[in-house]
């Protein structure tokens, strides 16, 4: 004769007389699975678990699920950190890009200023060149006139011929013109 299992009989009995689903709160089930029930609630919760196969099974599920829940929490936390890090990085990039764009804007303004100043200075230097060119032309004209003045001043030519003594030829004859004027005076 097979003997009845006391456990099977008890579970059938409690199945038929089990308390309702709301007899235990989710927090208490979690605490029961983790063995961290508060001492003032321990007896009441243990009594319900002892008389409810469904709640007892939920506690067993939670007990076996604990390591998976910890793993999931760790993955979510790491993923969250990664996402936050990525967001921070992109935020930093945005700020850096914003700063860069500000710097670039100022650089562009400075470049424009330099270009304007350069153009202005080139223009002004050209104007100076034109003006100085005109002045140079005038100066050169002065030189020509002064050369002309020297030539026609004739101080050396005429002075030299007049200073030359008789019997002492004046070295190298300078020009035919000079000699013409020169010879006529000393020959008699």
Partner 1 sequence: MTAPEDPSIPARLEALFRTYGAKVQALLLTYGLDKHGIDPSDVEQEVRIRLWRALERDRSGAFHASYIQRVVASTVIDAMRRAEVRAAEPLPDEEEESGGIGEAPIGPDRRAVDVEQMQGLARCLAGIPERRRLPITLHLQGFALQEIADLAGIPSAEAARKLVSRGLDELKTRLRELGYGEFDD
Contacts of 11 (CB under 8 A, 6+ apart): 53
The verdict on 62 binding partner 1 (CB under 8 A) reads yes
The verdict on 85 binding partner 1 (CB under 8 A) reads no
Among positions 26, 167, 168, 177, the unique one binding partner 1 when judged by CB under 8 A? 26
- In terms of CB distance, is 43 or 129 closer to partner 1? 43
What backbone phi and psi angles, to 5 degrees, belong to 17?
A: -120, 25
Half-sphere exposure of 22 (CA within 13 A, CB side): 0
- Taking alpha carbons only, the member of 100, 9, 23 closest to residue 59 is 23
- In terms of CB distance, is 92 or 146 closer to partner 1? 92
Query: 99: helix, coil or strand?
Result: helix
Residue bearing tokens 């999931």:
72
The verdict on 44 binding partner 1 (CB under 8 A) reads no
Exposure of 32 by Cβ count < 10 A (0-12 exposed, 13-18 middle, 19+ buried)? Answer: buried
**Size of site (CB under 8 A) for partner 1:** 60
Least CB distance to partner 1 at residue 43 (A): 7
Which residues lie near partner 1 (CB under 8 A)? 3-7, 9-16, 20-22, 24, 26-27, 29-30, 32-35, 37, 39, 42-43, 45-47, 49-51, 53-54, 56-58, 60-66, 68-70, 72-73, 75-77, 79-80, 82-84
């Amino acid at each position: 004769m097979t003997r009845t299992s006391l456990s099977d009989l008890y579970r059938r009995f409690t199945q038929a007389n089990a308390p309702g689903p709301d007899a235990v709160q989710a927090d208490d089930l979690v605490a029961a699975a983790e063995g961290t029930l508060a001492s003032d609630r321990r007896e009441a919760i243990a009594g319900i678990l002892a008389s409810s196969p469904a709640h007892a099974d939920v506690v067993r599920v939670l007990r076996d699920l604990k390591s998976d829940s910890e793993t999931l929490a760790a993955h979510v936390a790491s993923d969250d950190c990664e996402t936050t890090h990525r967001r921070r990085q992109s935020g930093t990039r945005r700020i850096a890009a914003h700063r860069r764009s500000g710097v670039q804007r100022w650089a562009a303004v400075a470049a424009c200023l330099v270009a304007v100043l350069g153009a202005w200075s080139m223009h002004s230097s050209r104007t100076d060149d034109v003006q100085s060119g005109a002045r140079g032309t005038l100066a050169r004209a002065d030189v020509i006139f002064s050369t002309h003045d020297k030539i026609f001043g004739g101080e050396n030519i005429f002075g030299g011929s007049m200073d030359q003594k008789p019997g002492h030829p004046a070295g190298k004859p300078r020009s035919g013109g000079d000699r013409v004027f020169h010879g006529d005076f000393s020959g008699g």
